[in-house]
Amino acid sequence: MTDTISITTDARGVATLMLDRADKHNAMNAQMIAELHNAALALGADDAVRVVVLAAAGKTFCAGGDLGWMRDQMQADAETRASEAGKLAHMLHALNTMPKPLIGALHGNAFGGGVGMASVCDVAIGADHIKMGLTETRLGIIPATIGPYVVARMGEGRARRVFMSSRLFDAAEAVDLGLLARPVRADDLPAAVEAEVAPYLNCAPGAVAAAKALARSFGTRIDEDTIATSIAALKARWETEEAAEGIDAFFAKRKAAWVQG
């Protein structure tokens, strides 16, 4: 039983993993992180599942990390901070290494961790009206645990265009950055996703899994050392005065101290 996600699988073995906190713009809290991690492991181990589509309910694909959850981490002890950062990092790793094709269907905006979720997909298709952005630095935090996947997807040079500025970008620029495969009209998104799904149904599942693992081995290596570095960076940032100020300013609906104009 899950409360923050849903999973449905059709007769062909196409599973839809749905982010389902629409009232919170699918922001990721501790429960959603745990449920996504468990779902990634379960879907990866299910021989009946051939392909997984990552989608979301409501207007927004994913607004990133739940700021209430982040505020809790800043008030927690160091051990708890490290544990929670680790859970987020290992959830992303489980999705990234899932031995099934993972197709992202972005019908709405994706910010922060939502960009990270798109980055762990094998291919992501987005509606042409959506906005995306790595918005963490506006809040005094950094895109730490998602960072390895974002940089692997975009390449360092392209990632540095948007990694630190919190600047929003549209679907066309997301394609240029390597984050989306292509933008489509919102009404055409289901058909575009199906066009990515269908070829896999004619492929040997074991060969697909082996090919995905091989492709990862040829690309940017995201190992336990990389993950540990990302966890340490997030934990350290949660402990800063800037993070406290940024999150407090958000909840107080005021500008943070560093905002000009």
Structure tokens at 132: 């995306």
Note the pTM of the prediction, 2 decimals: 0.96
User: pLDDT at position 99, please?
Assistant: 98
User: pLDDT at position 82, please?
Assistant: 85
Q: What's the CA gap between 183 and 253, in Å, rounded?
A: 33
- The rounded average pLDDT for each run of 10 residues, N- to C-terminus, in the chain (261 residues) is 94 99 97 98 99 99 93 85 91 98 99 98 99 98 97 98 98 98 98 99 99 96 96 92 94 96 74
Provide the pairing of β-strand 169-170 with 131-133: antiparallel
**Rounded (10°) CA dihedral 56, 59, 64, 69:** -90
Gyration radius from the chain CA atoms:
18
Q: What's the CA gap between 257 and 139, in Å, rounded?
A: 11
Q: In one letter, which amino acid is 250?
A: F
Structure tokens at 166: 């919190």
Nearest to 133 by CA among 107, 105, 159, 94: 159
Q: Do 174 and 110 form a contact (C-beta atoms < 8 A)? A: no
User: pLDDT at position 81, please?
Assistant: 84
User: pLDDT at position 159, please?
Assistant: 98
User: pLDDT at position 221, please?
Assistant: 92
Q: Which domains does the chain have, with CATH numbers?
A: 5-202 (3.90.226.10)
Provide the pairing of β-strand 14-19 with 102-106: unpaired
Length of the chain: 261
3-state secondary structure of 22: helix
User: pLDDT at position 75, please?
Assistant: 85
Strand partners, 2: none
Provide the pairing of β-strand 14-19 with 5-9: antiparallel
3-state secondary structure of 91: helix
DSSP 223: -
